[in-house]
């Protein structure tokens, strides 16, 4: 019986191996008839061995006299055979798994082979087409060379013909020059007669000069009248200049107000930098909490390995795991609700971004109407290359926030330069009024400038309102972050007690949030508005959102 039990796994493995190996081998393997013969021989040998083992076992039973001892021997053999059968079943399962893996590998390799064959056929077709094209190009080049040689010969013949024509023309010109000399002699005689006629006409011109003197006296009288009219127009211009001075004073007052709003905006920027520093400190704390959480997880994994050996405690742990499952389902529902809320906030932010971009386009159009060129933004000063430690994703986000602040400052400087250009254009248009037509044009420009100044005032008021909304949002979100951190600290000991349940319920824990994942949604909204103020695209928002999702996946 022992020999039978030992030979059964060998036969099973031998029966399983040909199925996997015959698919992987090349066609040069043994034919099916030879394999069948080998199997028959192996079966004969195994049957002979089984017969021998049975005979030995029967002899050993016959040697024993007591029935109890015989039963004990039979039971031992039976137990050994059952254990060997279990082992063989385990080996069979492993071999089945290996066989499935090998089949998958074979299918994958076959697909790759088919792809390579297709690529090879395509490349061959392309090579043939290239050869055809090369032949056609060579033939065309030869034809062009022949045509150019024929053209060159034609040009040579034409050049020679033109040279002969030029020589003929030169001879004709010489003959014409001789004729022209004779004509010049005759013209000199005629010129003498013309001089005599000119002297007679000078006498007539003297008489006409006297008449022109009388006409000049009349024109002087007309000039005096025009001077009087010019003085009246000057008085009108002086009155208009006084009105223009009053309007200039009003514009200066508006410029002072705009400077005050600029200082207020700078103060708000300082407040935002302080808030970013606080946000960075909160991120450092969350990283520390996350490191402690990892250490606790390692300890709990060690405890799990020890507790697996205790078979009696599985029932109690199963009951606790069910309760934990219910809790985790509730947490999962809450996380799904949070995700839905974040998606709504993102849509709201996208709409705000679009409105801000529309306002920006309106301002650019006003600049174009005044024919003011848009000055280029100053390049950001490169930061000194300091070798930082391993930069986490939270530090990268903080760096992005700092860059957005720099872009905001640049945009404010750009707006200030545009306002200065508007004021200078207004002053230039007021200082050079020379004619009535120019005065009309300057008045129309003033009206446009006043309208644009009103638009700028309304835009600055809108920006102040938006900044106030951002401050309120960030303040409310900071309070929510503090509450979330407190709740996160209280939940750590509960996770220590339910470590085994965490391992069994890993699929449900994929959506659990760490303290680092609880990023301020409303502070993100304020950052997005700042990015849009600095002329940043919506693609950056998608990048930030992707980084947040990646953090959640890493923690899980």
Residues 86, 154, single domain; the answer is yes
Residue labelled with tokens 């996160």:
488
- For residue range 433-475, list pLDDT tens digits in order: 444 444 444 445 445 545 555 554 555 555 555 455 545 555 4
pLDDT single digits (tens) 128-140: 999 999 989 988 8
Q: Compute the radius of gyration of the chain from its Cα atoms.
A: 51
Closest by CA to 1, choosing from 48, 55, 64, is 55
Same domain, yes or no, for 325 and 249? yes
Position 145 in a domain = yes
CA distance 121 to 128: 11
Cα distance between residue 521 and residue 524, in whole Å? 5
Q: Are residues 398 and 506 in the same domain?
A: yes
Q: Into how many domains does the chain fold?
A: 2
Percentage of the chain surpassing pLDDT 90? 9
Residues 265 and 348 grouped into a single domain = yes
Q: Is residue 401 part of a domain?
A: yes
* Cα–Cα distance for residue pair 202/206, rounded to 1 Å: 7
CA distance 411 to 535: 8
Lowest mean pLDDT among 305-309, 334-338, 355-359, 542-546: 542-546
Assess whether 38 and 143 both reside in one domain. Answer: yes
Q: What's the pLDDT score for residue 92?
A: 92
* pLDDT (average), residues 270-277: 85
Contact, 251 vs 426, CB < 8 A? yes
Classify residue 386: in a domain, yes or no.
no
Domain boundary among 157, 183, 209: 183
Q: Is the pLDDT of residue 164 over 70?
A: yes
Whether 72 maps to a domain, the answer reads: yes
Distant-in-sequence, close-in-space partners of 532: CB < 8 Å, separation ≥ 6: 352, 353, 356, 357
Dihedral (CA of 331, 337, 340, 342) sign: negative
Give how far Cα 490 sits from Cα of 303, 334, 415, 484, Å: 22, 18, 50, 10
pLDDT surpasses 70 at 225: yes
The predicted structure's pLDDT at residue 530 = 53
Average pLDDT over residues 68-92: 85
Average pLDDT, the chain: 71
Asked whether residue 150 is domain-assigned, the answer is yes
- The region of weakest confidence among 97-111, 287-301, 364-378, 530-544 is 530-544
pLDDT at residue 109, as a whole number: 93
Whether residue 421 is found in the same domain as residue 279: yes
User: pLDDT tens-digit profile of 485-538?
Assistant: 444 444 433 433 443 343 344 434 443 344 334 344 555 555 555 555 544 444
Residues 549 and 451 in one domain: yes
Please give the Cα distance from 255 to 261 (Å, whole number): 10
Closest CA to 392 of 294, 516, 521: 516
Average pLDDT for residues 283-291, to the nearest whole number?
A: 83
Do residue 174 and residue 259 come from a single domain?
no
Average pLDDT over residues 107-130: 92
Residue 234 placed within a domain: no
3-state secondary structure 269-298: HHHHHHHHHHHHHHHHHHHHHHHHHHHHHH
Q: Which residue has the higher pLDDT, 440 or 47?
A: 47
Pair (10, 150) in one structural domain: yes
> Is the pLDDT at 349 greater than 60, yes or no?
yes
| Pair of tokens at residue 553 | 């996946």
Arithmetic mean of pLDDT, 52-61: 78
Cα separation, 473 vs 475, whole angstroms: 6
* 170 inside domain: yes
- pLDDT over threshold 80, residue 372: no
Q: Which of 112-116, 119-123, 395-399 has the lowest mean pLDDT?
A: 395-399
pLDDT at 493: 39
Cα–Cα distance for residue pair 533/363, rounded to 1 Å? 12
- In tens, the pLDDT along 262-272 reads 888 888 888 88
User: Which of 138, 155, 183 is the last residue before a domain boundary?
Assistant: 183
Q: Is 403 found in the same domain as 296? A: yes
Question: What is the pLDDT confidence band of residue 123, given thresholds at 50, 70 and 90?
Answer: very high
- pLDDT value, residue 121: 92
Same domain, 315 and 168: no
Domain that holds residue 59: 1-21+34-183
Of 183, 200, 217, the one marking the end of a domain is 183
For the whole model, what pTM was predicted? 0.21
Same-domain pairing of 246 and 148: no
Q: 13-17, 104-108, 115-119, 480-484: which has the minimum mean pLDDT?
A: 13-17
In this predicted model, which residue has the larger pLDDT, 241 or 388? 241
For the segment 403-418, the average pLDDT, to the nearest whole number, is 65
Q: Rounded to whole angstroms, how far apart are CA atoms 429 and 53?
A: 121
Q: How confident is the model at residue 462, as a pLDDT?
A: 52
27/278: higher pLDDT: 278
Three-state SS at 195: helix
Exposure b/e, 524-543, CB count within 10 A at least 16 = b? bbbbbbbbbbbebeeeebee
Matching residue, tokens 């933004």: 377
Bigger pLDDT: 58 vs 472: 58
In a domain, 2, yes or no: yes
pLDDT of residue 190: 82
């Amino acid at each position: 019986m022992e020999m039978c039990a030992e030979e059964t796994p060998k036969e099973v493995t031998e029966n399983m191996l040909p199925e996997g190996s015959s698919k992987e081998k090349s066609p040069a393997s043994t034919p099916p008839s030879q394999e069948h013969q080998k199997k028959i021989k192996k079966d004969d040998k195994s049957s002979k061995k089984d017969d021998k083992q049975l005979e030995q076992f029967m002899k050993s039973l016959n040697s024993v006299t007591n029935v109890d001892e015989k039963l004990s021997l039979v039971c031992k053999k039976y137990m050994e055979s059952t254990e060997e059968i279990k082992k063989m079943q385990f080996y069979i399962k492993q071999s089945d798994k290996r066989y499935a893996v090998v089949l998958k590998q074979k299918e994958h390799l076959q697909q790759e082979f088919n792809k390579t064959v297709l690529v090879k056929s395509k490349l061959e077709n392309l090579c043939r087409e290239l050869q055809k094209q090369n032949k056609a190009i060579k033939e065309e080049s030869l034809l062009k060379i022949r045509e150019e040689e024929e053209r060159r010969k034609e040009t040579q013949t034409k050049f020679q013909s033109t040279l002969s024509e030029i020589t003929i023309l030169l001879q004709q010109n010489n003959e014409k020059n001789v004729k022209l000399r004779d004509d010049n002699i005759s013209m000199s005689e005629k010129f003498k007669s013309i001089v005599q006629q000119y002297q007679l006409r000078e006498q007539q011109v003297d008489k006409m000069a006297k008449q022109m003197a009388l006409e000049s006296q009349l024109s002087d009288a007309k000039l005096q009248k025009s001077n009087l009219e010019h003085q009246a127009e000057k008085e009108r211009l002086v009155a208009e200049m006084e009105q223009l001075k009053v309007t200039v004073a009003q514009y200066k007052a508006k410029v002072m107000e705009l400077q005050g709003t600029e200082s207020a905006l700078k103060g708000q920027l300082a407040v935002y930098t302080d808030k970013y520093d606080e946000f960075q400190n909160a991120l450092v704390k969350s990283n520390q909490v996350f490191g402690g959480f990892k250490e606790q997880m390692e300890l709990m994994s060690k405890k799990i390995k020890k507790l697996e050996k205790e078979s009696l405690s599985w029932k109690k742990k199963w009951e606790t795991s069910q309760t934990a499952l219910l809790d985790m389902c509730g947490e999962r529902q809450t996380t799904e609700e949070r995700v839905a809320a974040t998606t709504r906030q993102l849509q709201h932010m996208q709409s705000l971004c679009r409105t801000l971009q529309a306002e920006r386009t309106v301002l650019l159009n006003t600049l174009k109407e005044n024919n003011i060129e848009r000055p280029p933004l100053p390049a950001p000063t490169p930061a000194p290359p300091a070798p930082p430690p391993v930069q986490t994703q939270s530090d990268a986000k903080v760096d992005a926030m700092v860059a957005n602040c720099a872009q905001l400052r640049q945009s404010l400087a750009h707006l200030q330069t545009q306002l200065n250009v508007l004021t200078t254009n207004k002053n230039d248009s007021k200082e050079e009024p020379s004619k009535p037509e120019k005065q009309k044009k300057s008045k129309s420009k003033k009206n446009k400038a006043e309208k644009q100044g009103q638009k700028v005032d309304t835009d600055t008021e809108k920006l102040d309102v938006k900044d106030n909304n951002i401050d309120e949002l960030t303040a409310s979100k900071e309070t929510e972050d503090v509450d979330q951190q407190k709740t996160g600290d209280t939940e750590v000991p509960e996770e220590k007690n339910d470590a085994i349940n965490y391992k069994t319920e890993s699929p449900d824990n994929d959506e659990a949030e760490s303290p680092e994942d609880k990023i301020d949604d409303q502070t993100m909204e304020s950052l997005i508005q700042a990015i849009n103020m600095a002329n940043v695209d919506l693609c950056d928002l998608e990048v930030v959102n992707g980084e947040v999702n990646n953090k959640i996946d890493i923690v899980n």
